[in-house]
Chain A
Amino acid sequence: MSERQGIRYSRRRVLQATAGAVAAGTLARHRALPASASLRQEAADFDWQRFKGEEITVLLVTNSRSDILVQHQSEFEELTGIKVNADVVPEQQQRQKQVIEFTSGNPSFDVTVVSWHVQKGLFGRGKWLLDLREFLNDPTMTPPDYDFDDFLPSAVTFSTQPDGTMDTLPLFTDYWIMYWNKELFEAKGVEFPTTLDDVVAAAEALHDPDNGIYGFVARGLKNANVPVWTCFMQGWDVKPVDDEGQLQTTTEAAVEAATYYQRLLRDFAPPGVTGFNWNECQTTFSQGTAAMWFDGIGFATPLEDPEQSKVAGKVGYGLQPAGPVAHHSGMFGDGIGVTAQSNKQGPAYFYCLWATNKVNQARFLAAGAGSPARASAYNDPEALANLVVPQEWVDTLVASGQIGLPSLPEIVPVTEFRDIFGIALTNMIEGADPAEELQKATEEFQPILERSLQS
């Protein structure tokens, strides 16, 4: 159970980091002034320019983290003399492109971002990415101030394959939280709910469709909706696929979580929620028409922008609600790695180092673009001073990190899993029986899972 260990570990690190925020402010200044003279000396000796004049192509996913990387790209180009062509593509097409290009045997990109929660198994099986351990241990390739130990152990676990291969560097982790509309809650005098049962009660109290107010919103769109259900399932401490690779999707916990999902989305969500992905949910919530929205923590920035959002300054950030058995926070994450077939592995690796360095990680935090994978970012006074989101967001982020647990199974056919169970969940919103739908979906998915395990 390395995962568990990882979480315990991460809690310690984060607590340390938070506690140290005030006392050890100096430590956080390391990027401007390296802490020790010897480190500075070694860092100065490091030859960033050894691949000067090379050109690499980087495949990123459209999101606010990639925006930051592209925005500061010239910083990398000046440091290393390497020219970067960044291709930023929406998630769906990016995943498609990766698979097609890797399969064809000669990808057009040297660096790519990988969603661990969807692609880890697939990429591991295909050995599409370079094992970075050799580079990490090579002092001519990795500068001493990169400080690998700064990464949260949970993120390191996430970015390491079961066989120990490290084919990505941790880029960020994402936790699911409950966004809530403080104004609506105060108007009705409702307390923010911390358990699954209380969420239903609060949604019921705030639901007022005649006045265009809905108690709750979350993804209903097939495929995208599966994490909502698997996160709820964590409240019963059950994973959709257990550590032996057995499907747990017809267990009592799975059915209860699905029934719960059905209740919230059928009774308290706006009409048409079966077609909602996170962006429709975000639109609804930012219009002030939903009291609660359950989704990833990285979607906060536009909510706090008064140009785009009617709820700016009124958003509360709460933890994923606790279930009857356990309290976790659904965890997702991305890594960044080097294409195994690339003939520019060195420069590509340098880009990965830069993308995951302390400065960029702190930038992620300041922009509210998701949770950095490095402990030092939470400790960075400049980042904390320049937050575009409230301090409450950071607090929730840190607290989520303490109870984080991957929510999607680490299997190869994740896409099929999400598709098949996503359809079942959508059908439930339309009124189908949860137990029956899960039974049907499990029967459909079982052979696909077995086939993927055979090879």
Chain B
Amino acid sequence: MVTTQHRISWLGRRQARPGQPVSSYSRRGRYLLFVVPAIVVTLAVIIFPWLYTIYMSVHDWQVGMPRIYIGLENYANLINDTRFREAVWRTFVYTVFAVVCPTVVGTIAALFFHQEFPLRGLVRTVYLLPMIATPVAIALVWTMMFHPQLGVLNYLLSLVGIPPSRWIYDQDTVIPTLVLVETWQWTPLVMLIVLGGLASLPSEPFESALIDGASTFQITRDLTLPLVMPFIMVAVVLRTIDALKSFDIIYTMTQGGPGTASETINIYLYLQAFAFFRIGQASAVVLVFFVIIVACSLVLLWVRQKTRWA
């Protein structure tokens, strides 16, 4: 269960496991040979796209038109494009909510699912199904549930006396609605990671807390949560990367609409590349987008390191 955390922590610092013989350099080199086939295949599949993207990003090329070298003009265009800037801002807003909501709900769920109760294994698995289900299929069912006149959700709201919502059909509610679907889908991932953390906790501090007469709530707040915080941070990092890149759900449900109200960077990229066929411009978007994702991840890893040592 600890492995995820270990792996992520590699990114911050090197660690030696006690009691493990240190491999000699020559053997280490031979172990690396095991990795060569995977590396070769991966590079073969991704290196061409990367070179192609970098090359195209300094060209003005729209499909059907001549290709012209323009230096960094595509990047300058992006900075000046209000629509792109809005998309960046929207992506951040979306990401913050699409990280915070699943993290909060997922942590609470993990605290519950960590307890012993009948059929726990089955219940945990059922709870996982949203992240396993095919996103396109899920998006389609949600779309039908969100229908402003015939959708089942507005009916359920009316039962408890809440006025109908326009869900994905309104510029003000579309982002919260998409966050709702994203939360539904990815809360299980957070739950799993935190669950793994809970399972690995030592039992001594809890026993002494009980002897001191602490309540369940106090124990959870003062002991459990700080101890699983590193795991929660792992979930936050992974969730952030995924939320920034979120595509299937948004594309299937709104294609960035109404208007541009749910147009995130990824949707903007899709439009540039596959609706307008501005390949050069789209390539610049890819590179900027990648930098944003890496930057966000590094910031979070740094924050995580801080909380660790604090």
**Chain A residues packing against B (C-beta within 8 Å):** 96, 99-100, 102-103, 122, 125-126, 212, 220-222, 270-276, 280, 283-284, 287, 289, 412-413, 415-416, 419, 423, 426-427, 429-430, 455
Chain B residues within 8 Å of A415, by CB? 275-276
A212-B149 contact, Cβ under 8 Å, with A122-B64, A271-B164, A271-B166: yes
A208 to chain B, nearest CB (A): 14
Check if A426 sits within 8 Å of B149, measured CB to CB: no
Contact at A275–B149, with CB atoms within 8 Å?
A: no
Contact present for A455 and B276 (CB under 8 Å):
no
The answer on a CB contact under 8 Å between A423 and B169 is no
Given A273-B169, A287-B149, A419-B271, is A99 in contact with B63 using a C-beta cutoff of 8 Å?
A: yes
**Contact partner, A222, options B164, B167, B258, Cβ 8 Å:** B258
9 contacts between A and B (CB under 8 A): A220-B258, A271-B164, A272-B166, A272-B169, A273-B169, A276-B169, A284-B149, A287-B150, A413-B276
B-side contacts of A455, CB under 8 Å: 65-66
For chain B, give the interface size range. Answer: 20 to 34
| A426 contact from B258, B271, B277, Cβ within 8 A | B258
Given contacts A103-B64, A275-B254, A430-B259, 5 further A-B contacts (CB under 8 A): A96-B275, A100-B274, A272-B166, A275-B168, A275-B169
- A103 to B257 Cα, complex, angstroms: 28
| Contact of A426 with B170 at beta-carbon distance under 8 Å, contacts A99-B63, A287-B149, A419-B275 already known | no
The 3 closest A-B pairs by CB, nearest first: A272-B169, A274-B258, A272-B148
B297 at the interface (CB under 8 A from A): no
Are A222 and B170 closer than 8 Å at their CB atoms? no
Does the CB pair A103–B169 fall under 8 Å? no
Is the Cβ of A270 less than 8 Å from the Cβ of B277?
no
Partner of B170, one of A221, A274, A423, A427: A274
CB neighbours of A102 from chain B (8 A): 64
Quote the shortest CB–CB distance from A284 to chain B (angstroms): 7
B224 an interface residue at 8 Å Cβ cutoff?
Answer: no
Q: How many A-B residue pairs have CB under 8 A?
A: 80
B65, B150, B271: which has the most chain A beta carbons within 10 Å? Answer: B65
Whose C-beta in chain B lies nearest to the C-beta of A97? B274
Once bound together, how far apart are the Cα atoms of A122 and B65, in whole Å? 10
- B268 smallest CB distance to A (angstroms): 11
Residues of B68-126 at the interface with A, using a CB-CB cut-off of 8 Å, are none
| A-facing residues in B173-222 (Cβ within 8 Å) | none
Alpha-carbon separation in the docked complex, A273 to B168 (Å): 10
Closest-CB distance, A209 to chain B (whole angstroms):
10
For A283, give its contact among B66, B150, B164, B277 (CB under 8 Å). B150
Contacts of A273 in B (CB 8 A): 169
Chain B 254-280, CB-CB to A under 8 Å as 1, else 0, gives 100111100000000001001111000
Complex CA distance for A426 and B171, rounded to whole angstroms: 9
Q: How far, in angstroms, from A136 to B8 measured CA to CA in the complex?
A: 67
Chain A minimum-CB-distance residue to B256: A222
Query: Which B residues are within 8 Å of any A CB, using their own CB?
Result: 63-66, 147-150, 164, 166-171, 254, 257-260, 271, 274-277
A28 CB to nearest B CB, Å: 43
A416 to chain B: which residues have CB within 8 Å?
276
Q: Considering only CB atoms, which chain B residue lies closest to A280 in the complex?
A: B147
B64 in contact with A221 (CB, 8 Å): no
Contact yes or no, B149 A289, CB < 8 A? yes
A124 to chain B, nearest CB (A): 10
CB distance from A110 to the nearest CB of B (A): 20
Give CA–CA (A100, B63) in the complex, Å: 8
Residue of B nearest to A224 (CB): B257
The docked-state distance in angstroms from the alpha carbon of A416 to that of B277 is 10
CB <8 Å contact, B259 and A427: yes
B149:A274 contact, CB within 8 angstroms: no
The complex places the Cα of A99 from the Cα of B257 at a distance, in Å, of 24
In the complex, which residue of chain A has the Cβ closest to the Cβ of B81?
A: A444
Contact check, B259 vs A274: say whether CB atoms are below 8 A apart: yes
CB A268 to nearest CB in B, in angstroms, measures 15
Contacts of B148 in A (CB 8 A): 270-272
Question: Whole-angstrom distance between the alpha carbons of A274 and B168 in the complex?
Answer: 9
For B164, what are the chain A residues with a Cβ–Cβ distance below 8 Å?
271
Choose from B169, B254, B274, B277 the contact partner of A271 (Cβ within 8 Å): B169
Which residue from chain B places its CB closest to the CB of A415 in the assembled complex? B275
B residues less than 8 Å from A221 (CB atoms): 257-258
CA distance A2 to B306 in the complex (A): 73
Whether A274 contacts B257 by the Cβ 8 Å rule is yes
Q: Which residues of A contact B257 (CB under 8 A)?
A: 221-222, 274-275, 426
Give B65's nearest chain A residue, CB to CB. A455
Contact B64–A126 (Cβ < 8 Å): yes
Complex CA distance for A271 and B164, rounded to whole angstroms: 10
Assess the A96–B274 pair: CB atoms within 8 A: yes
Across the interface, do B277 and A103 meet the contact criterion of CB distance under 8 Å? yes
Q: Which residues of B contact A413 (CB under 8 A)?
A: 276
Complex Cα distance, B257 from A220, in Å, reads 10
B170 near A272: Cβ-Cβ < 8 Å? yes
Bound form: Cα–Cα A272–B174 in Å: 10
- Complexed CA–CA distance, A99 and B65 (Å): 12
CA distance A273 to B260 in the complex (A): 15
CB of A103 within 8 A of CB of B63, answer: yes
User: How far is it, in angstroms, between the C-alpha of A429 and the C-alpha of B169 when the chains are bound?
Assistant: 12
Residue of B nearest to A440 (CB): B82
Min CB gap A216→B, angstroms: 15
Measured between alpha carbons, how far is A99 from B275 in the docked complex, in Å?
9
CB pair A430 B258 closer than 8 Å: yes
